[in-house]
């Protein structure tokens, strides 16, 4: 059961990276930045040894990638529409 859980976790991580690369023009860079920031934030947290800290960083990257992808997508897609609406006066 533990091997299946590990395989699913690795597949989720790889899938998020693939989504960020495929959606690069639609905020994928935000996903990768969010993953990096999440990793760094969780890396400095509580942990008895570096193995536990790296595990915390891994979880932080898994949480940061979808949030960064959403924020990057909102920035890449939503901001041009908002600027067009503001500039058109309506």
pLDDT tens-digit readout, 4-51: 988 998 999 999 999 999 999 888 999 999 999 999 999 887 777 888
Give the closest residue to 64 by CA, choosing from 35, 42, 24.
Answer: 35
Looking at the predicted structure, is the pLDDT value of residue 1 above 70? no
Place of tokens 């008895």: 48
pTM for this entry: 0.80
| Residue 83 to residue 51: CA distance in whole angstroms | 46
| Residue 30 to residue 83: CA distance in whole angstroms | 20
Phi and psi, residue 25, nearest 5° = -75, -10
């Amino acid at each position: 059961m533990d091997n299946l859980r590990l395989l699913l976790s690795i597949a989720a991580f790889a899938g998020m990276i693939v989504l960020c690369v495929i959606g690069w023009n639609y905020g994928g860079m935000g996903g990768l930045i969010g993953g990096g920031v999440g990793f760094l934030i969780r890396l400095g947290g509580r942990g008895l040894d570096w193995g536990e800290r790296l595990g915390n960083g891994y979880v932080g990257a898994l949480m940061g990638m979808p949030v960064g992808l959403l924020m990057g997508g909102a920035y890449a897609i939503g901001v041009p529409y908002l600027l067009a609406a503001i500039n058109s006066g309506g």
